[in-house]
Structure 1
Amino acid sequence: MILARRRFLKMGGGFIATLSLSTPMRAATVQTIKMEGSARGERIWFSPNGLAISPGTTLRFVNRDQGNAHTATAYCPELYDRARRIPKAAAPWDSGFLLPDESFEVTLTVPGVYDYYCIPHEMAAMVGRIVVGQPGDPGWQYPNPDTDDIAPEALTALPTVETILTYGRVEPEDAT
């Protein structure tokens, strides 16, 4: 269809907007991970604490615990000199302290296993694991399981990669 220049200019931005709406748009995938705690504060957790996602998925960490501030922090030497438990090509993240109802987002693109923790609550096993893609994907990396940088309570609380891949989403056993 050929439009005369004058007619095109009279149509203005509305015509251009209509054209852009007909272009297919790819919706970004967002998965929410809640930071939660019991009413009296004796128990805290990430929900889910195990999640399988596709590369390019955005994670939204939301603090739903009305009694505590939390962080979502990747295990990585660049952040607080921790042992690397994310793929080597991946960028580490740290949400900083999130007050109740605040949120933080990070997009994971590199295939592999990402372990993260809450800085003030790691010793209470507030940890999580994200599996991006599948084993065998180019660049796939699994964290070194033989690190002594993680408290045994936190290490035990991490769901296995196999469990995450089987179920897709894993909740902490005693999260209530």
Structure 2
Amino acid sequence: MKKLVFALTLSIACGSIFAAEHQVKMLNAGADGAMVFEPGFLRVAKGDTVKFIKTDASHNSAALAVPAGAQAWKGKMDEEIAVTLNHEGVYVYACDPHKIMAMAGVIQVGKPVNLAEAQKQADVLSKSFVMNKDRLSKYMAQVK
């Protein structure tokens, strides 16, 4: 029994050792234009953490679509937040004050189990953009 408990504890500990942290910058200008998250599309493994970095002022990150069972997040203005993604699927997020400027991004965790629902949310969001109207669709096209 002690060996079983030890093996279980070791396997749980090792799982967190292999989890990675990815950084997404919140920028006024970047490779994809004005008001962007960089990178705008990110593919990560289940259990990885994504840290949203305050590079420029007056931004936040808020989840708009998450897989079933996943926890949505909403960072405060100018707040760096770290989000651990424990559910497979597609996450769509945006900066609240700059959504209409297409400051949005996509994270794929493992298999895109909720792709249809995430695509619907991305399509609705894209209709509200006043600039960079195809940015989010380009990010969604990278989901495999």
Q: Secondary structure, in 3 states, of the residue corresponding to 1:95?
A: coil
State the partner residue of 2:96. Answer: 119
TM-score, L = length of structure 2: 0.73
Given that 2:66 and 2:118 are in contact with CA atoms closer than 8 Å, whether structure 1 keeps it comes out as: no
Tell me the CA shift for residue 162 of structure 1: 4.6
Q: Aligned residues: percent identity? A: 29
Question: Among residues 80, 88, 95, which one is paired with 1:103 in the alignment?
Answer: 80
Tell me the CA shift for residue 43 of structure 1: 2.2
Bigger-Rg structure (1/2)? 1
Q: Secondary structure, in 3 states, of the residue corresponding to 1:150?
A: helix
Tell me the CA shift for residue 130 of structure 1: 0.2
Q: Which has the higher strand share?
A: 2
Query: How many residue pairs are counted as aligned between the two chains?
Result: 123
Greater RCO (CA < 8 Å, at least 6 residues apart): 1
**Runs of 5+ unmatched residues, structure 2:** 1-12
**Runs of 5+ unmatched residues, structure 1:** 1-22, 76-84, 166-176
| Alignment-mate amino acid for residue 157 of structure 1 | R
- Give the Cα separation in 1 of the matches to 2:118 and 2:77: 27
Tell me the CA shift for residue 36 of structure 1: 0.9
CA RMSD of aligned residues (A): 2.6
Q: Secondary structure, in 3 states, of the residue corresponding to 1:110?
A: coil
State the partner residue of 2:119. Answer: 145
TM-score, L = length of structure 1: 0.61
State the Cα deviation string for residues 2-55 of structure 1 (Å, max 9, x = none): xxxxxxxxxxxxxxxxxxxxx9782531000000114xxx92110000000000
Q: Which has the higher helix share?
A: 2
Taking the TM superposition and a 5 Å limit, the aligned residue runs for 1:1-176 are 26-38=17-29, 43-65=34-56, 68-75=57-64, 85-98=65-78, 102-135=79-112, 140-142=113-115, 143-147=117-121, 149-152=124-127, 153=129, 156-158=134-136, 159-165=138-144
Given that 1:73 and 1:93 are in contact with CA atoms closer than 8 Å, whether structure 2 keeps it comes out as: yes
Change (3 A) 1:117 1:106: same
State the Cα deviation string for residues 52-107 of structure 1 (Å, max 9, x = none): 00000100000111xx31110001xxxxxxxxx21121110011111xxx521010
